[in-house]
A and B are shown apart, each in its own frame.
Chain A
Amino acid sequence: MQLFLPIAEVSVNAFVLIGIGGIVGFLSGMFGVGGGFLITPLLFFIGIPPAVAVATGANQVVASSISGVLAQFKRKAVDIRMGLVLLGGGLAGSGLGIWVFAQLSAAGQVDLFVQLSYVLFLGLVGVLMLQESLRAMIRARRPGGAPVRRSHVHTWVHGMPLKMKFRASGLYISVLPPFMIGAFVGFLSAIMGVGGGFIMVPAMIYLLGMPTKVVIGTSLFQIIFTTAFTTVMHAVSSQTVDLMLALLLILGGVVGAQFGARIGVRLRADQMRVLLALLVLAVCIRVGLDLVLRPAEFYSITLGHLP
């Protein structure tokens, strides 16, 4: 069924959109990532203009994150206090990110910067996660070698002031590291047009030492607010949120997120991290190839004047 989208001004198949929403929602519910880093390239691929894809993608991520976080709430897997600290940092960081984005637009190199950020951060996070989770899997499989589980590891993070108790995570640490992580992710998400879950999740696991089960719900909780902020910002400043496109993506997304959340519970934590790492690396390689391979068409057309 072909449908004409009022803001994107293209006609696309409604079932393709529901399908894209469903796949991204599924992954979102399973891994606790918003899925922005997936949905934006997928929308480009089916011919949605980039500005509309970024803004509407953010709106879809709000819906699938809410759907996912409610499922996590039922399992008491959300650390609200930690989420609020991350969010505080996130809003500060995204304010700075929006300013930097405007500066880069004036210089005319936003596309490049966004692509490089994708390759760099997706690549880094993907490799680190893959390496760590594979090592954990091998360790678990070694005969008689049930891994020595320490309740948590003391790192430099634990020696900082302003300590606070995060009961759901079983942590007693300074608020500064989560605030800084939030700010860093907020900054990147404003520039890359994503929720930032793929950076947030490993940062919470490896830097803060939070248990994997709590990480997903907390990440989703934080992403809801970041992407809600982004959606309204885009709607007001550039009128690029397409409600009809968003509705179809959401329809697929919220259902997908429910399935994802349930499948996620059945997977072992280390298996889940391997899968997420592979997914992140796949997107990284895809974006990276565009930069390195000789393009079929050297020229591109964008509507509007030069900034």
Chain B
Amino acid sequence: MRHALALLFCALAPALALTLAPAAQAAEEQVIAGLSQSSVSITADFSGTEILVYGAVKREAPAPEGGPMRVIVTVQGPDIPVTVRRKDQRYGIWLNNASVGIDAAPSFYAVSTSAPLRQALSETEDLRHRITIPRAIRAVGISEEADNSPAFIEALLRIREKEGRYALRENSVALTEETLFRTDVMLPTNLTEGDYVVRVFLTRDGKVVDSIRRAIWVRKAGLERFLYESAHEQPLLYGLVALITAAIAGWGASALFARLRW
């Protein structure tokens, strides 16, 4: 009986090895990544924060032939619908004349790379994985109307870049021995609440070899959370509290100054 089992195992082993082999080859370089923090609390003294994205490349075999390895890290904030308006001169004054609605534009989008972008990523791979800012925006929710008006999309990108919401930082990922990498991503003060998606891509010759996805929870906390929730869940009460606060403050200052007899 024992012999029979051993025989069966011997017969199966090569077959198993054969079926596993192609899978192992496809992921011969795997990315492993971690974040310095997986949640961000927006409290009253919040003034932006830096997220450290770090990781390593896992290999079963020596590094393959071909171009050098590159790392691309993207951080994407929650999508929000926006309206882009254009001013034109009419009757001597500048007024909003045309507008385009965009169903979903990321409230934040940062791309960090270990090499100049065009060396690290080919156009086709960018299109497939939607990595760069213009690609990521078009991925989420451009209506037909907006797609026909590239100037509006360009304006959206330009304005948000100026606000620090969209950023492309080439050569900002430090890569050691084609194995260890790290980068700091700055989250600005004007953060929108929601889940932020962090993606890490390994590329060779502009082609994506492996990728991984992590999430950061961004939430208001403490007093911020309390005020925000009250404003939305008890709007009338909140409005009245705002009035009473104003009344007490107004009366208090008046009484105080009267007592000072100044």
Contact = CB atoms under 8 A, between A and B. Distances in A.
Contact of A63 (B84, B235, B247): B247
A17 to B, nearest CB: 13
Contacts of A59: 242-243, 246
A243 B241 CA distance: 9
B80 A303 contact: yes
Interface in A220-271: 228, 231-232, 234-236, 239, 241-244, 246-247, 250-251, 254-255, 257-258, 262
B249 A251 contact: yes
B55 interface: no
Contacts of A109: 95-96
Contact of B82 (A2, A243, A304): A304
A132 interface: no
Contact of A306 (B93, B101, B227, B253): B101
B169 interface: no
A4 interface: yes
A2 B188 CA distance: 13
Given A67-B253, A108-B99, A301-B160, A9 B93 contact: no
Given A66-B246, A243-B238, A300-B87, A262 B262 contact: yes
A10 B190 contact: yes
Contact of B46 (A11, A108, A255): A11
Interface string B216-260: 000010011101100110011011111101110111111101100
Contact of A294 (B81, B94, B99, B232): B94
A65 B243 CA distance: 12
Contacts of A108: 96, 99
Given A236-B236, A302-B82, A231 B99 contact: no
A299 B86 CA distance: 4
Contacts of B84: 299-301
B242 A305 contact: no
Given A9-B192, A11-B47, A243-B227, A250 B249 contact: yes
Contacts of A304: 81-83
Nearest to B80: A303
B250 A298 contact: no
B245 A299 contact: no
Contacts of B99: 108, 306
Given A2-B45, A65-B250, A302 B231 contact: no
B250 A247 contact: no
Contacts of A306: 83, 99, 101
A112 B90 CA distance: 12
Given A59-B243, A232-B239, A301 B159 contact: yes
Contacts of B88: 298
Interface residues of B, number: 64
A6 interface: yes
B130 to A, nearest CB: 21
Contacts of A235: 231, 235-236, 238-239, 242
A70 B251 contact: yes
B185 interface: no
A74 to B, nearest CB: 7
Given A9-B192, A235-B231, A60 B246 contact: yes
B189 A4 contact: yes
Given A231-B242, A295-B87, A306-B101, A244 B96 contact: no
Nearest to A62: B246
Contact of A7 (B80, B85, B155, B228): B228
A164 interface: no
A234 B253 CA distance: 26
A300 B97 CA distance: 11
A71 B87 contact: no
Contacts of A250: 245-246, 249-250
A304 B86 CA distance: 16
21 contacts: A4-B46, A6-B227, A6-B231, A59-B243, A62-B250, A67-B249, A70-B250, A71-B257, A112-B95, A228-B246, A242-B227, A244-B44, A246-B242, A251-B249, A257-B253, A292-B92, A297-B158, A298-B155, A299-B84, A299-B159, A303-B82
Given A6-B227, A6-B228, A244-B227, 6 more contacts: A4-B42, A6-B231, A11-B46, A63-B250, A235-B238, A300-B87
Interface of B: 42-48, 80-89, 92-96, 99, 101, 103, 152, 155-156, 158-160, 189-192, 220, 223-225, 227-228, 231-232, 235-236, 238-243, 245-247, 249-255, 257-258, 262
Interface of A: 2-4, 6-7, 9-11, 59-60, 62-68, 70-71, 74, 108-109, 111-112, 228, 231-232, 234-236, 239, 241-244, 246-247, 250-251, 254-255, 257-258, 262, 290-295, 297-306
